Amino acid sequence: MKRIGIFAKRHHRDAVRLAEEVVAWLVERKIEAFVDEPLAEAMSDMHGYPGQAIPSLVDMVVVLGGDGTLLSVARQIGNLRTPILGVNLGSLGFLTEITRSELFPMLEQVVRGDFAVSERMRLLAVIRRKGLEVARYRVLNDVVINKGALARIIDMEAWIDDAYLTTFKADGLIVSTPTGSTGYNLAAGGPIIYPGNHCHVISPICPHMLTNRPIVISDEALIRIEIKSQDEDVAFTADGQEGMPLEAGDVVELRKSNHSTLLIKSPSKDYFQVLRTKLRWGER
């Protein structure tokens, strides 16, 4: 490892201070640091680089913050296979599983090449309006279709490949990857899915039918969701960070992306230990 990118929230004081410590640690070892421009502005005498340019210039990136920060960085990495070391400075953090105390020992291992990655599948979401593609998103966690604050329940016709699934009558719908299963999907009553599983889960939000339950399907399937409600305020969001309004007749197509995200794994804990720690499994 000769070049490392650094991302963090510029308004998070602890993250800025820690970023300065990381840069000093890298410089001492003659490793070049590429700091995201907004973060560099909050640091002392630091040159910054455009965030979208950094992943192609470095061997890996360090993300200091929470899962939201990591999701935004994963989006900037795009189709590249630049691994991410996520350091949790937030309150929960399923993706940023490295703690602050583990950071520098972990960096020592990583720069020696002594690390393993978890390859996380992503979703490709395409939105079609009157048969034409109007937007596309690559998603690590989930996509959500939901109604506005004053809207009534919405009707969403769902198809799996060429088979009709059902028409959901609900406040919304979540389609989650295994990585995102511990997020909004979990809060909506969906299952936790081990990251290595090749599947997606569809979870209705407050369904108006007692028989509607989350369903797990193969990640090789094409999911099509058509908005059937007229004159309702409906929105599409990707990873909770970007999106667009939807209209009646719009179709959301979801399939496995050809590109994945690489997360550097902690050597001191496995996925189930993270679940026990974050969700307090086993406690009474």
CATH of the domain at 30: 3.40.50.10330
* Marked catalytic residue, from 14, 36, 45, 67: 67
Both 36 and 150 in a single domain?
no
Task: Give CA–CA dist 24/44, Å, rounded.
Answer: 12
Both 154 and 57 in a single domain?
no
Q: Which pLDDT does position 92 carry in this prediction?
A: 67
Task: Work out how many domains the chain is built from and give that number.
Answer: 2
E runs forming strands in 55-98: 60-65, 84-88
| Alpha helix (H) residue ranges in 84-182 | 103-111
Q: Residues in the chain, how many?
A: 284
What's the predicted TM-score (pTM) here?
0.92
Both 38 and 150 in a single domain?
no
Q: Which pLDDT does position 63 carry in this prediction?
A: 96
Both 241 and 269 in a single domain?
no
Q: Which pLDDT does position 261 carry in this prediction?
A: 96
Both 62 and 164 in a single domain?
no
Q: Are 135 and 212 in contact (CB under 8 A)?
A: no
Would you tell me how many other CB atoms lie within 10 Å of the CB of residue 16?
19
Does residue 284 sit within a domain? no
Both 176 and 76 in a single domain?
no
Q: Are 155 and 147 in contact (CB under 8 A)?
A: no
The residue segments making up the domain with residue 74 are 3-120+260-279
Both 157 and 96 in a single domain?
no
Task: Give CA–CA dist 3/250, Å, rounded.
Answer: 44
CATH of the domain at 205: 2.60.200.30
For residue 202, CA distances in Å to 153, 170, 199, 214 come to 17, 13, 10, 5
Q: Which pLDDT does position 9 carry in this prediction?
A: 84
Mean pLDDT rounded to a whole number for the chain = 92
Both 267 and 222 in a single domain?
no
Does residue 88 sit within a domain? yes
pLDDT in tens, the chain (284 residues): 899 999 998 888 889 999 999 999 999 999 999 999 999 999 988 899 999 999 999 999 999 998 899 999 999 999 999 999 999 887 667 888 888 888 999 999 999 989 999 999 999 999 999 999 999 999 999 999 998 877 788 999 999 999 999 999 999 999 999 999 999 999 999 999 999 899 999 999 999 888 889 999 999 999 999 999 887 789 999 999 999 999 999 999 999 999 999 999 988 778 888 788 777 777 77
Q: Which pLDDT does position 129 carry in this prediction?
A: 96
Both 138 and 151 in a single domain?
yes
Taking the alpha carbons at both ends of the chain, their separation in whole angstroms is: 44
Active site annotation includes 67: yes
Q: Are 76 and 37 in contact (CB under 8 A)?
A: no
Task: Give CA–CA dist 276/253, Å, rounded.
Answer: 34
Task: Give CA–CA dist 5/19, Å, rounded.
Answer: 11
Residue 245, both tokens: 């309004």
Both 154 and 187 in a single domain?
yes
For residue 169, CA distances in Å to 29, 129, 208 come to 58, 21, 6
